[in-house]
């Protein structure tokens, strides 16, 4: 099963905390967003392996943009 982590709002990428090939568990943070001086951690719902990262620190993302892809 594949999983996509999407931006929940327009924000800046403050930090990408995973890399391709890394195994993550349910509830792990993969990206930290920053919007209006608030930090918003994006967590994975299911365990998996990171297969793609579509953003870098400093990027601006729109609501719904795919940031990270995972595969079980």
What does the domain layout of the chain look like in residue ranges? 2-71
- pLDDT tens-digit readout, 14-41: 999 999 999 999 999 999 999 999 999 9
DSSP letter assigned to residue 11: E
Percentage of the chain modeled with pLDDT above 70: 100
| pTM exceeding the 0.85 threshold for the entire prediction | yes
41, 24 contact by CB (below 8 A): no
CB-CB contact of 62 with 69 (8 Å): no
Give CA–CA dist 53/61, Å, rounded.
Answer: 13
pLDDT of residue 25: 97
Answer whether residue 1 shows pLDDT above 90: no
Pick the CATH number of 2-71 from 3.20.20.300, 3.90.1150.10, 2.40.50.100, 1.10.10.10: 2.40.50.100
Q: Does residue 53 contact residue 16 with C-beta atoms inside 8 Å?
A: yes
What does the alpha-carbon distance between residue 54 and residue 62 come to, in Å, rounded to a whole number? Answer: 13
């Amino acid at each position: 099963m594949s999983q996509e982590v999407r931006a929940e709002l327009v924000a800046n990428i403050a930090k990408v905390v995973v890399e391709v090939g890394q195994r993550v568990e349910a509830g792990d943070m993969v990206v930290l967003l920053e919007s209006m001086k608030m930090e918003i951690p994006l967590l994975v719902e299911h365990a998996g392996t990171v297969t793609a990262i579509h953003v870098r620190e400093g990027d601006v993302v729109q609501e719904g943009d795919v940031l990270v892809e995972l595969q079980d």
